[in-house]
Amino acid sequence: DAKTTQPPSMDCAEGRAANLPCNHSTISGNEYVYWYRQIHSQGPQYIIHGLKNNETNEMASLIITEDRKSSTLILPHATLRDTAVYYCIVRVAARDDKIIFGKGTRLHILP
Amino acid sequence: EPEVTQTPSHQVTQMGQEVILRCVPISNHLYFYWYRQILGQKVEFLVSFYNNEISEKSEIFDDQFSVERPDGSNFTLKIRSTKLEDSAMYFCASSRHKINTGELFFGEGSRLTVL
């Protein structure tokens, strides 16, 4: 029932921008794109979400393509503490009660 | 910054014993959740709770599991008769809104080991 496709792992040099891709080609008009991350065995952490416009907060930027079939999470200046599994999730706001996690992308920040 | 707290951080139990995992959600939050993560696997949804009743539950959440909000602050997950396959990290989460924002705040988890 995977709605999103992410690479299983990525590397990024410390201090560089980490760009994490996500494909969601079957996304419907009322589904939002969410990003969470899980550092080691800690609880997942919300990062950002968006519908169709690009979004930015203190943690990251979310770039959604015009056709909404894919998106990219950007960590502008990656640090070693950003090493984590990053999850891209699509869900319908105001209807779905839950967040369903897939396998995500394991991001390694290299010193 | 307010946070979701969970106790115990680690519990070891014998197969067949009852276990209660406790969570204190963020105080003004309305939705509450339990998730679990078996070692090396995905984070799996168990149950959501709103307005003092279960809102949704997964196939994993069978009759062995129950949830309760006994006193307006704690949110508990009870496993009636633990099995070896219940060994996992259990995460509690809460949400401020009627999940429109999709922003869940997770605790640090309770590791359950069933022997």
Residue appearing with tokens 């079939």: A69
Pairwise CB contact (< 8 Å): A98 & B98: no
Pairwise CB contact (< 8 Å): A93 & B102: yes
B34: tokens are: 């339990």
B84: Cβ contacts below 8 Å, ≥ 6 apart = B15, B114, B115
Nearest CA in chain B to A33: B102
Q: Mean of the per-residue pLDDT values for chain A? A: 92
A97 has pLDDT over 80: no
Distance CA A86, CA A82 (A): 10
B97 has pLDDT over 90: no
Give the residue with greater pLDDT, B29 vs A86: A86
Which residue type is seen at B28?
N
Q: What's the gap in Å between the CA of A61 and the closest CA on chain B?
A: 16
Q: What's the gap in Å between the CA of A13 and the closest CA on chain B?
A: 25
CB-based burial label for B49 (10 Å; 0-12, 13-18, 19+): buried
Nearest CA in chain A to B6: A43
Whether B51 contacts chain A with CB within 8 A:
no
Q: Taking chain B, what is the end-to-end CA distance rounded to the nearest angstrom?
A: 37
Q: State residue A1's pLDDT score.
A: 45
A104: Cβ contacts below 8 Å, ≥ 6 apart = A6, A38, A85, A86, A87, A88
Band of the pLDDT at B99, cuts 50, 70, 90? Answer: low
Distance CA B34, CA B20 (A): 12
Whether A93 contacts chain B with CB within 8 A:
yes
- Which has the closest alpha carbon to A28: A85, A87, A96? A96
Whether A32 contacts chain B with CB within 8 A:
yes
Distance CA A54, CA A58 (A): 14
Which residue type is seen at B43?
V
- Widest CA span in chain B: 40
Q: State residue A96's pLDDT score.
A: 61
pLDDT digits (tens, 9 = 90+) for B29-84: 888 999 999 999 999 999 999 888 998 999 999 999 999 998 878 999 999 999 99
